Amino acid sequence: MGSAMTESGAPLRGSSKEQQIVDAALEILRDRGPASVNIESVSAVSGVAKSTIYRRFSNRDELLSVAVASVAAAPELPAGLDIVEELRWVTLQCRDGVEHILGLGGVTGVLVDQDPRFSTTIRSMLLPWVALVRDILVRGVATGRFRSDVDIEVALNFVLGASIGEFLRAGTASDAWTDRVLRMLLVMLLPSDGSERPDSSAGPDGSGHPDAGNDVTRSA
């Protein structure tokens, strides 16, 4: 990921003060939502004077935008992955983005459009991820790895939305849960003639733990 930029075009230099400011903005975003991110709240959480914050950021919109951009990487698939491994990688990245960048406050803020400018920023940042997931699915269909009748848009939303749903329900999502998502996705995607099937050596959740997929009583 390249250096984050302020709206004036100056790079975020990564000084300790600026890092304090950005970390505080992200903490407030995750805990309380975008509407609570302002110069006063960031100053209180970071311990950095408001005058110092204003010398680095012209307003709270610029501060929030730079804070999110500083931790939101553009997607770059690792080389050499099988197409199923690509799906798992992107599912993990979606999970981490929901949990560690947006948090409950950020997710809720987007869902209720608490801050329209912030919602627009997040949707713009999602575009390359949407394009990547769609490309994986289209390639899978074109090469015969996935069924020809796959509904690409539904499968795409399954990958992107599963992380949000689990985070809202349980507050976090484990690696084992991510494997369960992938296993269910593959049931939908792989040819029904049995030419390909999810790894039968894994447990019911795809994680390798025989009992991990049986936790159906966990409370919401």
The DSSP secondary structure of 125-136, one letter per residue, reads HHHHHHHHHHHH
Question: Quick one: pLDDT at residue 194?
Answer: 57
Cβ 143 vs Cβ 162: under 8 Å: no
Q: Same domain, yes or no, for 65 and 88?
A: no
Q: Same domain, yes or no, for 56 and 158?
A: no
Q: Same domain, yes or no, for 50 and 111?
A: no
Q: Same domain, yes or no, for 105 and 188?
A: yes
Per-residue pLDDT tens, the chain, 220 aa: give them.
333 433 333 444 457 899 999 999 999 999 999 999 999 999 999 999 999 999 999 999 999 999 998 888 788 999 999 999 999 999 999 888 888 889 989 999 999 999 999 999 999 989 999 999 999 999 999 999 999 999 999 999 999 888 888 888 888 878 888 889 999 999 999 998 655 555 533 433 443 433 333 333 333 3
Tell me the two tokens of residue 211.
């009992």
Q: Same domain, yes or no, for 96 and 148?
A: yes
Q: Same domain, yes or no, for 130 and 203?
A: yes
Which of 8, 34, 69 is at the close of a domain?
Answer: 69
Cβ 56 vs Cβ 18: under 8 Å: yes
Question: Looking at the chain, how many residues does it have?
Answer: 220
Q: How far apart are CA 88 and CA 83, in angstroms?
A: 9
Domain that holds residue 26: 16-69
Question: Quick one: pLDDT at residue 202?
Answer: 40
